[in-house]
Amino acid sequence: MSYEDFFKRATRTEEQPNGLHPFPFQRRLAEEPWRELLNVPTGMGKTAAVVLAWLWKRGWREGGREAAPDGGTPRRLVYCLPMRVLVEQTERNASGWLENLSVAGVPGENKVAVHVLMGGSEDVRTPAWASYPEEDAILIGTQDMLLSRALMRGYGMSRYQWPVHFAWLHNDALWVFDEVQLMGPGLKTSAQLEAFRQKMGLSSRSRSLWVSATLKRDWLSTVDFDPGSTTPLDRMHLFSRHYPQLADSISAPLVRISTKHAATSARLISAPAVRESETEASNREDMEIMLEWIKKLLRRSGRPAPPRGVLEPWSKGADNRAHGLETDNRTLAQPHAGRAVPDSPGELAAEGGAEHGVRGRAGGPAHPGAGTRLPRAATRYLNTALGALSC
């Protein structure tokens, strides 16, 4: 089985019964040695690239393990995310891919189990994954839960189990830090932990992969970790030179979805000012290729592509009824009778809440019987020609 067939079978859905073709960077991630940095635009399949590449390198195929595991690929995939909603989304995707390949299981079945580590999850209360360290497993969790265990101070668990989780998360583990721009101090912690692993040595090889659409090496700099030692997936091959041809293989439903906002994207990307002032030189080539791809989608949908280098003005009189928005001007809040709207929001702070349904007349004296008094900053005012709007 080729990796393309493997990828297509894993990504089958009701909307895409034949699965998705892997992009060039997704194929290279599975067929070449692991990198430390993966900088890919949003929506291009970073999660699928990492999870399915890990499965492929661990020898899993449809129905079971058919090849020997790659020596450079740890048996535990630790997917660290900064938000709970991202954990839930990643768990759904990973579980779906495992089900499509018929390799999903529970600890003790010698298959691949998915475990969720975040507050209130069953895998935090009863961490069965720690009892089967010899099996392949995917651990998906918030940075608080995972990094605290990597520091041997695990949240929500017995202190007597700290050394166990500490050992399994530092040995034979592939750490994937996704959406690193949202990690805050956790990003530096992840880099420093990787430096400790490299300097102190482990019983089994572990490694880290940082993933984002806006990734900069300098973010990983710590007292012991040199970001210059990391190897990114070569951006020159992130998209194929023939990437616009991929539009030919996209199904009609996906084309309709893609072209929904393609016109706006093409206007923005085609503007020289955007390319030169807001995009680094290393990304310019990717944007050119993406622009050609968007233009091809527009041509397939019957919509004209904007001329190169032209930033079109925002359309006027757009019909927003399809989005459930009002299409005509309506007065949302009238200024107080007999006087104009004041220049300063402070003049309305004591009396600008009742008409908007805010309890206790936010920012001013509490309404008799309201029982609460919100701070002055609880309501913000915007002076408009239609009156004072608050939120």
Instruction: For the chain, give every domain's residue range.
Output: 3-237, 243-301, 346-390
Domain 3-237 is classified in which CATH homologous superfamily? P-loop containing nucleotide triphosphate hydrolases (3.40.50.300)
What is the rounded CA–CA span in Å between residue 133 and residue 150? 16
pLDDT of 284: 60
3-state secondary structure of 13: coil
What is the rounded CA–CA span in Å between residue 388 and residue 368? 24
- The DSSP bridge pattern shows strands 173-178 and 76-81 to be parallel
Say which DSSP state 377 is in.
Answer: G
pLDDT of 215: 84
What is the rounded CA–CA span in Å between residue 40 and residue 210? 11
Widest Cα–Cα separation across the chain: 82
* 113-117 β-sheet, strand order: 37-39, 207-212, 173-178, 76-81, 137-142, 113-117
Please tell me the pTM assigned to this model: 0.65
pLDDT of 323: 52
What is the rounded CA–CA span in Å between residue 152 and residue 144? 12
pLDDT of 288: 65
What is the rounded CA–CA span in Å between residue 301 and residue 258? 10
Q: What single letter denotes the amino acid at residue 124?
A: V
pLDDT of 289: 65
pLDDT of 142: 96
> CA 108, 114, 115: angle at the middle one, nearest 5?
95
Residues of the chain with confidence (pLDDT) below 50: 235-237, 239-265, 267-279, 282, 310-317, 326-334, 341, 343-382, 386, 388-391
What is the rounded CA–CA span in Å between residue 107 and residue 113? 6
Residue from 335, 341, 362 nearest 351 by CA = 362
Give the tens place of pLDDT for each residue, 239-257.
444 444 444 444 333 344 3
Q: Which residues contact 154 (CB under 8 A, 6 or more apart)?
A: 145, 148, 161, 162, 165, 166
Q: Where are the beta strands (DSSP E) in the chain?
A: 37-39, 60-61, 64-65, 76-81, 113-117, 137-142, 173-178, 207-212, 381-384, 387-390
As given in the structure block, the two tokens for residue 181 are 């721009």
> Residue 196 half-sphere exposure, CB side, CA atoms within 13 Å?
10
